[in-house]
């Protein structure tokens, strides 16, 4: 199997298979899911049966359906946040370099400030005041992520901007936007794609962890992190329910990491 | 000295951020505390009681001054002294984090060097794949896996790590074993990969090849020649991962219902108990900054070339 004109090793193929399976599940939820995500269809903690393949949860909702709806919310939200933070981070990172000293210093200091605390602690402080609202969650995590992407893209742009063709474009009188879009972006793209994958994993795990702590996505919406929290009550009895959402989280991250590992590996960098 | 001053500056910036985050952001604290009883008079009285009618700068200076003296105010939920309630929990969290670090660091460094020494061998590629998998696993997944296999099915360890101040050291080590193991697995993977990478980077340098040509034994080259130069990046990675440990601790405490600082913070955030959130946030930030600072200083000590920046 080939991708980007390069042969994929087995590991990367497994990664790709896992990721596409998850994406397909997330997109086709309304067709695949046997029950609505918040519908109570039986008694609590019912065992797996023919109608409910994975059993029912603490309120009597179908675990399989919630797992599928959870895929949509967890993955969709992570993609949205990663995309938002990337546009912000890359834009500010490149602008800082192109505009030069003053903008560079100011933006870097702001980013240093944002990174002076662990992201989880920062997010918790904000959530304690604003409440666990979906918009708050998206904005907070995007800004925290953007700070990290800013650093990466700034470092990338620093290397590119010193090259001759950027200088040529500048002397030709091209504007800021042109230089960012036509000169820097195409050359920074391959490392940024790998960074996107890594950031996605980070965001995805981060949202799941917040939801697991009960501070992220709020009921009745199904999301993998809060499902882990809800189902963990049964672990003392040895019931495996908690491993469906937790395993789903682990599987998707492994898949993305396998892909990223291949994208950043040496045989991918060689031209 | 310069680095230490920088660290203090960062800590101060973090305190501003925490304070600003909890006080200046929109969302009325008094309203949040009172919830259903939020009549206009009640809210006004509450605002006065909390001092919210005074300017933010004044409140910030007062808060910082008290915090520097170890006084974090009283909890909004149960009116108890925050510092008094958090002290044993801070001890528990530090205990768990130190326990995990003591096991993880030597393990990761040894494994990393071994993987670098046998680069390209079966051991190396197995280690590479397992660490990649371990990095991908969320902490709670590992935590629940251990609970199910080791605590419930085998019954070797208790499911919950409920320690009290009078628990003896050995009982503590025993009770905390599973939380420690989950934390260790998460950070070892990353530390080991980075150790391997930095040792390999040094091993490719010409002076190492020279040592090989001289006919020195491999272990001697690794330990005497390569390791001192790979030390700075390794120390950096260790410190970064210990900083990561701080975050992992929050989640693991929740899994094992361990009475630590992270659990208080999560509870406080859910109840919007601002003084407790501020105190926990500040402590976590301080730990994080201290670790980063230590990493910088240790890197300077281990590598004389960094001491005189060009």
A235 located within any domain: yes
Beta-carbon count within 10 A of B112 CB: 26
A175 located within any domain: yes
- Domain residues for A39? 19-270
Q: Is the peptide bond before A220 cis (omega within 30 degrees of 0)?
A: yes
CATH of the domain at A249: 1.10.3720.10
A14 located within any domain: no
Q: Which of residues 225-254 of B touch A (CB under 8 A)?
A: 243-244, 246-247, 250-251, 254
Euclidean distance between the first and the last CA atom of chain B, given in angstroms as a whole number = 18
Q: Rounded to 5 degrees, what angle do the CA atoms A196, A124, A214 make?
A: 90
pLDDT at A180: 81
For residues B251 and B183, is the Cβ–Cβ distance under 8 A?
A: no
A158 located within any domain: yes
Dihedral angle computed from the Cα positions of residues B248, B250, B255 and B257, in that order, rounded to the nearest 10 degrees: 140
Q: Which of B283, B305, B284, B302 is nearest to B294 (CA)?
A: B302
A3 located within any domain: no
pLDDT by 10s per residue, chain B, length 310: 666 777 777 777 777 777 766 665 544 555 655 565 656 666 666 666 666 666 666 667 766 777 666 666 666 666 677 777 777 888 888 888 888 888 888 888 888 888 888 877 788 888 878 887 777 788 888 888 777 777 777 777 776 766 666 667 777 777 778 888 888 888 888 888 888 888 888 888 888 888 888 888 888 888 788 888 788 778 878 887 887 787 788 888 888 888 888 888 888 888 777 778 888 888 888 888 888 888 778 877 777 766 665 4
The half-sphere exposure of A191 on its side-chain side, counting CA atoms within 13 A, is 14
A169 Cα to chain B: minimum distance (Å): 32
A133 located within any domain: yes
- In this complex, is the C-beta atom of B132 within 8 Å of any C-beta atom belonging to chain A? yes
Tell me the β-bridge partners of A2: A7
A6 located within any domain: no
User: The pTM is what?
Assistant: 0.80
Which chain A residues contact residue B159 at CB under 8 A? 235-236
Residue A243 to residue B144: CA distance in whole angstroms? 8
Structure tokens at B92: 């528990």
Number of domains in chain A: 1
A219 located within any domain: yes
pLDDT at B148: 75
User: Does an H or E element contain B174, and which?
Assistant: helix B169-175
Which chain B residues contact residue A228 at CB under 8 A? 140-141, 144
List Cβ neighbours of B194 (8 Å cut-off, separation of 6 or more): B112, B233, B234, B237
pLDDT < 70 stretches in chain A: 1-6, 33, 38-39, 41-42, 44-46, 50, 52-53, 236-238, 265-271
pLDDT at A84: 92
């Amino acid at each position: 199997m080939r991708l980007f004109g390069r042969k994929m090793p087995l590991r990367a193929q497994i990664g790709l298979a896992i990721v596409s399976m998850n994406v397909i599940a997330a997109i086709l939820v309304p067709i695949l899911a046997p029950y609505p995500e918040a519908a109570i269809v039986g008694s609590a903690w019912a065992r797996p049966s023919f109608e409910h393949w994975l059993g029912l949860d603490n309120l009597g909702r179908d675990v399989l359906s919630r797992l599928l709806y959870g895929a949509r919310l967890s993955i969709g939200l992570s993609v949205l946040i990663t995309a938002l933070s990337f546009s912000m981070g890359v834009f500010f990172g490149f602008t800082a370099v192109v505009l030069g000293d003053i903008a560079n210093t100011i933006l870097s200091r702001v980013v240093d400030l944002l990174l002076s605390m662990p992201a989880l602690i920062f997010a918790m402080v904000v959530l304690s005041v604003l409440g666990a609202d979906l918009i708050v969650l998206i904005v907070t995590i995007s800004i925290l992520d953007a700070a990290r992407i800013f650093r990466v893209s700034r470092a990338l742009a620093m290397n590119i901007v010193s090259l001759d063709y950027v200088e040529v474009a500048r002397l030709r009188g091209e504007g800021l936007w042109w230089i960012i879009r036509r000169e820097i972006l195409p050359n920074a793209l391959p490392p940024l794609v790998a960074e996107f994958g890594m950031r996605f994993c980070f965001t995805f795990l981060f949202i799941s962890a917040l939801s697991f702590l009960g501070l992220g996505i709020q009921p009745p919406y199904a999301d993998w992190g809060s499902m882990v929290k809800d189902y963990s009550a049964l672990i003392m009895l040895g019931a495996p329910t908690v491993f469906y959402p937790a395993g789903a989280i682990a599987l998707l991250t492994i898949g993305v990491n396998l892909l990223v590992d291949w994208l950043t590996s040496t045989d991918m960098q060689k031209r | 000295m310069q680095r230490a001053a920088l660290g203090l500056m960062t800590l101060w910036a973090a305190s501003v951020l925490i304070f600003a985050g909890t006080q200046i952001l929109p969302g009325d604290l008094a309203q949040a505390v009172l919830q259903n009883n939020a009549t206009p008079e009640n809210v006004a009285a509450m605002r006065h009681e909390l001092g919210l009618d005074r300017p933010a700068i004044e409140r910030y200076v007062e808060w910082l001054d008290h915090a520097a003296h170890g006084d974090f105010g009283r909890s909004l939920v149960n009116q108890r002294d925050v510092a008094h309630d958090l002290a044993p929990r801070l001890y528990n969290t530090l205990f768990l984090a130190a326990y995990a670090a003591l096991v993880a660091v030597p393990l990761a460094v040894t494994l990393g060097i071994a993987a670098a020494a046998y680069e390209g061998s079966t051991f190396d590629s197995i280690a590479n794949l397992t660490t990649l998998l371990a990095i991908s696993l969320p902490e709670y997944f590992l935590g629940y896996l251990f609970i199910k296999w080791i605590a419930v099915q085998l019954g070797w360890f208790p499911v919950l790590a409920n320690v009290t101040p009078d628990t003896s050291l050995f009982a503590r080590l025993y009770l905390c074993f599973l939380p420690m193991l989950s934390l260790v697995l998460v950070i070892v993977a990353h530390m080991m990969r980075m150790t391997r990478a930095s040792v390999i980077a040094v091993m490719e340098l010409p002076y190492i090849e020279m040592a090989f040509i001289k006919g020195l034994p491999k272990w001697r080259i690794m330990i005497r020649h390569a390791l001192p130069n790979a030390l700075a990046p390794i120390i950096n990675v260790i410190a970064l991962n210990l900083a990561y440990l701080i975050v992992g601790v929050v989640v693991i405490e929740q899994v094992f219902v361990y009475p630590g600082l992270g659990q208080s913070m999560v509870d406080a955030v859910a109840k919007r108990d601002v003084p407790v959130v501020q105190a926990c946030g500040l402590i976590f930030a301080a730990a994080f900054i201290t670790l980063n600072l230590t990493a910088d200083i240790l890197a300077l000590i281990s590598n004389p070339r960094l001491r005189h920046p060009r």
